[in-house]
Amino acid sequence: MKLISVTKALGLAAGLALVASVQAAEPAKGPVKWNQSGGEKDEAMKLKPDLDNGREVFEVCSACHQPEGWGTKDGTFPQLAGQHRDVLIKQLADIRAGNRDNPTMYPFALPESIGDAQALADVTAYIETLPMNPDNGVGPGTDLEKGEKLFKENCVKCHGDHAQGNAEKWYPRLEGQHYKYMLRQFEWIRDGKRRNANPDMVKQIKSFTDDDMRAVIDYVSRLKPPKKDLAPSKDWTNPDFD
């Protein structure tokens, strides 16, 4: 019985608790090629998405990432809303294949929980349509001039001049993302703890100090997406889950 069916039968919270109680063993860990061609990632990207099914699959994701896809300001869960679909597909496929270590999410990302490659195509297309949080978590604002300088010197080439990312190259959209989430991921990438990190980024930021890291992420956290991509207010709720 798929997780979606379980959550409908028992209620979302109870269904997730039930599945979480079953310990899913992650695949053996080893070296990862950052963006190897073929496999489920490429398959999902070629499929025509079904937004109705994507909305249904997202019911599972909403337990942690919130019905709006906004995650949490404390950085426990990232904002997914408005993220590039190709980026989302790659990260989901990497988690399912054991190329990105995420033991909390792993059981809920499995095919037996949410579906096959078509489900990946569907849910990521739905997530991309969600308006973004206009009130994301930001840093302390203590060294923004330094952060801006570091961003322009190190990050613009890949992530864009406004941290808008690049879907064609699987560079994520960072504008509007929570400060504490980005800080954790940056540290893991710098320190070699995120195995599916782009090796070019690992090389680019290897000399960053903790102060450098905090400054640049603080600056990025304050870059707001275009108004057309934002929800009308921080109190907006997803009508699909009313």
pLDDT in tens, the chain (242 residues): 455 554 554 455 555 554 555 445 666 677 676 677 678 999 999 999 999 999 999 999 999 999 999 999 999 999 999 999 999 999 999 999 989 999 999 999 999 999 999 999 999 999 999 999 999 999 999 999 999 999 999 999 999 999 999 999 999 999 999 999 999 999 999 999 999 999 999 999 999 999 999 999 999 999 999 999 999 999 999 999 98
The pLDDT score that the predictor gives to residue 242 is 86
d(CA 7, CA 234): 27
The pLDDT score that the predictor gives to residue 22 is 47
CB-CB contact of 176 with 82 (8 Å): yes
d(CA 101, CA 104): 9
Kindly report the pTM of this predicted structure: 0.90
DSSP one-letter string for the chain: --HHHHHHHH-HHHHHHHHHTS-PPPPPP----TT-SSHHHHHHHHSPP-HHHHHHHHHHHHHHH-TTS---TTSSS---TT--HHHHHHHHHHHHHTSS--TTTHHHHSHHHH-SHHHHHHHHHHHHHSPBPTT------SSHHHHHHHHHHHTHHHH-TTS--BGGGTBPP-TT--HHHHHHHHHHHHTT--TTS-HHHHHHHTT--HHHHHHHHHHHHT-PPPGGGB-SSTT---GGG-
Residue 152 gets the label, from left (phi > 0), alpha (psi -120 to 50) or beta, of alpha
Q: Which residue, chain included where needed, has tokens 């990632």?
A: 41
The pLDDT score that the predictor gives to residue 29 is 73
CB-CB contact of 234 with 134 (8 Å): yes
The pLDDT score that the predictor gives to residue 216 is 98
Domains of the chain, earliest start first: 3-134 (1.10.760.10), 144-223 (1.10.760.10)
Using alpha carbons, list the distances in angstroms from residue 117 to 11, 101, 216.
Answer: 25, 20, 35
The pLDDT score that the predictor gives to residue 11 is 57
